[in-house]
Amino acid sequence: MQADSISEQRLLEKIQMLPPEQVLLVEDFIDSLDNQKAEHSLTFAAAKLSEPLLLKIWDNPDDAEYDKL
């Protein structure tokens, strides 16, 4: 756990040395990482919700011939 706080302290020191406009870029970058994580979670949740419906479409006797390909 101590290594995490050392890494965090090093990052904070580096950010504090940046000019204000670069601090804004760092903040934007962090926000974009957070947005990517949220988008991934939403995509995964939507896929899980649609899974039962898609199984009915994909797993049916009419399409059984395609399973052999």
Model pLDDT for residues 58-67, shown as the tens digit of each residue: 777 777 777 7
Q: What is the pLDDT of residue 56?
A: 77
Q: What is the pLDDT of residue 20?
A: 95
The values of phi and psi at residue 46, to 5°, are -65, -40
Assess if residue 52 is contained within a domain.
yes
Count of structural domains, the chain: 1
- Alpha-carbon distance of 64 to 60, in angstroms, equals 6
pTM of the model: 0.52
Structure tokens at 66: 């395609």
Model pLDDT for residues 1-39, shown as the tens digit of each residue: 577 888 999 999 999 999 999 999 999 999 999 889 888
Assess if residue 2 is contained within a domain.
no
Q: What is the pLDDT of residue 30?
A: 93
Assess if residue 36 is contained within a domain.
yes
Q: What is the pLDDT of residue 1?
A: 52
> Which structural domain range is residue 54 located in?
19-59
- Alpha-carbon distance of 59 to 66, in angstroms, equals 10
Residue 3 to residues 9, 10, 14, 15, 43, Cα–Cα distance (Å):
10, 11, 17, 18, 33
